[in-house]
Amino acid sequence: MLGAIAGDVFGSVYEFDPIKTKDFELLNPECFFTDDTVMTIAVADSLMNGLDYVESLQTWAQKYPGAGYGGWFSKWINEVYPEPYNSFGNGSAMRCSSVGWLFDDEITVLKEAEKSAEITHNHPEGIKGAQAVALGVLLGRKGCSKNEIKEKLETYFDYDLSQKLEQIRPEYGFDETCQGSVPEAIIAFLESADFEDAVRNAISLGGDADTQACITGALAEAFYKHIPDEIEDFVYKRLTPEIEAVLEQLRLRTRIDIS
Ligand SMILES: [Mg+2]
């Protein structure tokens, strides 16, 4: 899950100032965590500590009110009786990477990803986006090849993952829908050589940089199983103790599960 958070942190400075190159300062001192980190933590906290998704997401979002939430979500955060609003925004996809870490079989991961999405993003594309990311994390950490991951995500979700980044990049711009950003974020992972390269790929698309790098980073961490210490240290320095605590709880859980 650190991979998702690292992607968000590195993409933060390019969300509204897009770039079309992989050649940029990754450890930029201006980087900060955004809503993608807060909501990723909220879903993980909910799963590990038995909290209701609605309660957990509202509580975390209220603690970090200025983290960059979308319009409808900002309203939902403070509703007394919050209802899903048929969203297909990529918020469902960026927040659910812990589902792929905390459950071990495809059916459970798909069901849980749907549950994590449908409290807000109950449009079919919103649910698909979450499922694709959570399943991608599961497949990566289980040792599937990139080809296997690509084929499965194409088959299950009807995503076209055949394009190359250099074909997508020239015409691509900010798109915060699941269907317009999740496939591209998956391709950024598929075309990468390692974790850092994956995050650079995602940001270089010049789209919704923090959210796409969050999704790409989640997939890359699960697949490569290695995030350089320098990156880890940089990201940790930008988190708050309560965010760090949830991250550590998940690390411990997944370490135990692996051994
Ligand atoms: Mg954001």
Residues with CB under 5 A from ligand 1 (ion): 34-36, 68, 210
Chain mean position to CA 185: 9
- Residues 183/133, Cβ–Cβ less than 8 Å: no
CA 2 to ligand 1 center in whole angstroms: 15
Low-confidence residues in the chain, pLDDT < 70: 256-259
Residue type, 36: D
CA distances from 37 to 166, 236, 244 (A): 28, 12, 11
pLDDT of residue 255: 77
Provide the CATH number for the domain around residue 33: 1.10.4080.10
pLDDT of residue 89: 97
pLDDT of residue 256: 57
Output the pTM of the full model.
0.97
CA 54 to ligand 1 center in whole angstroms: 19
Q: Which of 34, 48, 22, 14 is nearest to 235 (CA)?
A: 34
CA 211 to ligand 1 center in whole angstroms: 6
What residues make up the domain containing 98?
2-76+84-258
CA 70 to ligand 1 center in whole angstroms: 9
pLDDT of residue 258: 44
CA 177 to ligand 1 center in whole angstroms: 13
CA 212 to ligand 1 center in whole angstroms: 9
Domain total in the chain: 1
pLDDT of residue 259: 39
Cα–Cα distance, 39 to 90 (Å, whole number): 12
Residue 43: burial class (beta carbons within 10 Å; 0-12, 13-18, 19+): buried
